[in-house]
Amino acid sequence: MQFSKAFGLVGYVGMLIGLAFAVLAIGGAAGGHNSAIWFGIAAALTLITAIVLIAGSRGLLTSRPVRNRTHQDPLQPEVTPEEEAWYEDEYRPQDDVQVTQARDRPSDG
């Protein structure tokens, strides 16, 4: 699991490096420098490699079954039964008919 996430992180760092090469290529071409073509080639190769790493990371992450919710999203904490009950009471009314009738009622005005 961590190995495939590392692929994605390296891909995003590579994306930033590729964008820097692209900026150098555009700047070099605008200034008429001979090195612009090499920066362009470096940008293309770096960006292609970064996209392959990001896509490969995503493919590895989705190919394995998720054992628990923490593996799926480590930033989202587990929900306790009390929190789930509170959410259901607060945001999901038990009587959907009243909600539908209140929504469909014409307004006075």
Neighbouring C-beta atoms of residue 59, cutoff 10 Å: 11
**Count of residues making up the chain:** 109
pTM of the shown model? 0.58
Q: Structure tokens of 70? A: 């923490």
State the virtual CA torsion across 77, 83, 84, 90 in degrees, nearest 10. -130
Question: pLDDT at position 79, please?
Answer: 75
| pLDDT mean over 8-32 | 95
pLDDT digits (tens, 9 = 90+) for 68-108: 555 555 566 677 888 888 878 887 766 655 555 555 555 55
Q: Contact at 8 Å (CB) between 8 and 1?
A: no
| pLDDT mean over 40-68 | 87
Q: Which is higher by pLDDT, 42 or 58?
A: 42
pLDDT digits (tens, 9 = 90+) for 26-47: 999 999 989 999 999 999 999 9
Q: Structure tokens of 22? A: 């692209």
Q: Which is higher by pLDDT, 19 or 2?
A: 19
Q: Contact at 8 Å (CB) between 57 and 12?
A: no
